[in-house]
Structure 1
Amino acid sequence: MRMTRAAANTPSPKARAQVLHTLGFGVPATSDPHHFKIIIPKASAGKVQISEHLGLQATSDDSAVIDRVLLDRPRWTAIRAEVQRAFNARLAAHGIKPGTWKVGDNPVDRLLGKELCVLAWAVEQMDADKIPVAVRNWLALRPEERWWLFGMTAMSTGGFMDAGKGWRAALKHALGDVAQSELLAPRARRSNRGQDDSRPSLDLFGDETS
């Protein structure tokens, strides 16, 4: 009887998430968390800055913030609505309040920030007419695939000055030049052969750090 009563009084994971106080797009309101910050200037022509704040994981003050990408305003405008919709759907699944882009500082959960960087890196030098294709292809990727792409790109070409180099250039072509049906074809062929995909599906606030 006591165990039944105790179980009834134990909040579900979703209920526990609902009481979590967050800032922006899912950033825990704790002391110096690892997160991303998207800075949207007031000037309509100003570039949008995406930086990674390592928080308590930083080894020194000099390495506490990594500036990842500067995005021209028209390119940001072309992706912001779909990114907000996708992120809020993920947050809602965890019972976490949605976010919205605003002028100034926009904190973003560390995993969502990695995913945003992948899209921003892809479109930073992309022809405007290809950006909608890149957004659709980005949406078709699973979160862990975006995290992997971030990790590979960030290792060698993850800073402000690395546009058009290495993995940054590869992302531009992979997301913008490849038709969505072709991008998804390898996955479809695996499914048709009845093979299981062994890659893990990680939680929004999991321990993945790549």
Structure 2
Amino acid sequence: MSKIQALGFGYIPEETKHHFFVVIPRSQNQKIAVYERFDWDDSEVQQSDIDYKSLKVRIDKHKWDLVKDPLQQEFNNTLRENNILVGRFKIGEIPVDRLLGKEMVLLLWAIEDSDPKLIPVALKNWLGLSREERWWLFTMTNAVTGQADDKRGWRKAIRYALTENPIDDEKHKQLNIFDLFK
């Protein structure tokens, strides 16, 4: 069975126009921008209807570089499970499936204003959430503070929940029944 063709990370324009759009500039000084879009023009090499109102988050290259590979791995695992060709984050414009985009933006919101040293904790906590939990948290946050510069309320709560709430591996270790008989 052949893999399903998709653009970027799982985006199939024939199925839906709703997607997220990551713009990765060549310059190290420019920020990565993520837009939520509801239109796709197959005739254009570069999508033109990108505007500030659809901008969800901007993040500096250093923080992006810290999460890019784990994001890519998590997304590609999901795509493989669904028999869809995998993607890669590279310089330029990358469309992302709407559900994967929600998960990505949630993580980026958590780290956008955090100390880079907290990013491993954010990744661990983000990976500890189910996909459905990530979608729900994105939806709740987006409903109130979904614009790029609106960093209050739910947006702050997401940052604290994912970056300043480290999972203690020892406390959360599953009980092995055989350990009781040692």
TM-score, normalising length: structure 1: 0.72
| Distance (whole Å) between structure 1 residues aligned to residue 117 and residue 4 of structure 2 | 40
Q: Which has the higher helix share?
A: 1
- Do structure 1's residue 154 and structure 2's residue 156 form an aligned pair? no
Q: How does 1:190-209 map to 2 (within 5 A)?
A: none
Structure 2 residue identity aligned to 1:173? Y
| Distance (whole Å) between structure 2 residues aligned to residue 51 and residue 86 of structure 1 | 20
Match of 1:97 among 85, 88, 94: 85
Structure with higher RCO (Cα < 8 A, 6+ apart): 2
| Distance (whole Å) between structure 2 residues aligned to residue 109 and residue 26 of structure 1 | 5
Alpha carbons of structure 1 residues 152 and 88: separation in structure 2 relative to 1, 3 Å? same
Unaligned residue ranges in structure 1 (runs of 5+): 1-14, 189-210
- Do structure 1's residue 119 and structure 2's residue 103 form an aligned pair? no
Structure 2 residue identity aligned to 1:145? E
| Distance (whole Å) between structure 2 residues aligned to residue 20 and residue 92 of structure 1 | 10
- Which residue in 2 is equivalent to 1:22? 6
Q: C-alpha deviations, 1:99-136, integer Å up to 9, x for none?
A: 00111101100000000010000000001110111011
Structure 2 residue identity aligned to 1:175? L
- Do structure 1's residue 36 and structure 2's residue 20 form an aligned pair? yes
Structure whose alpha-carbon radius of gyration is higher: 1
RMSD of the TM alignment (CA)? Answer: 2.4
- Which residue in 2 is equivalent to 1:202? none
- Do structure 1's residue 55 and structure 2's residue 39 form an aligned pair? yes
Q: C-alpha deviations, 1:7-52, integer Å up to 9, x for none?
A: xxxxxxxx4xx45321000000428621100000010121000000
| Distance (whole Å) between structure 1 residues aligned to residue 3 and residue 157 of structure 2 | 41
Asked whether the 8 Å contact 2:37–2:54 carries over to 1, the reply is yes
- Do structure 1's residue 176 and structure 2's residue 144 form an aligned pair? no
Structure 1 residue identity aligned to 2:86? P
| Distance (whole Å) between structure 1 residues aligned to residue 70 and residue 123 of structure 2 | 8
| Distance (whole Å) between structure 2 residues aligned to residue 62 and residue 111 of structure 1 | 19
Following TM superposition, where does structure 1 have runs of at least 4 consecutive aligned residues deviating by more than 4 angstroms?
Answer: none
TM-score, normalising length: structure 2: 0.82
Unaligned residue ranges in structure 2 (runs of 5+): 41-48, 175-182
Task: Work out the number of aligned pairs and report it.
Answer: 164
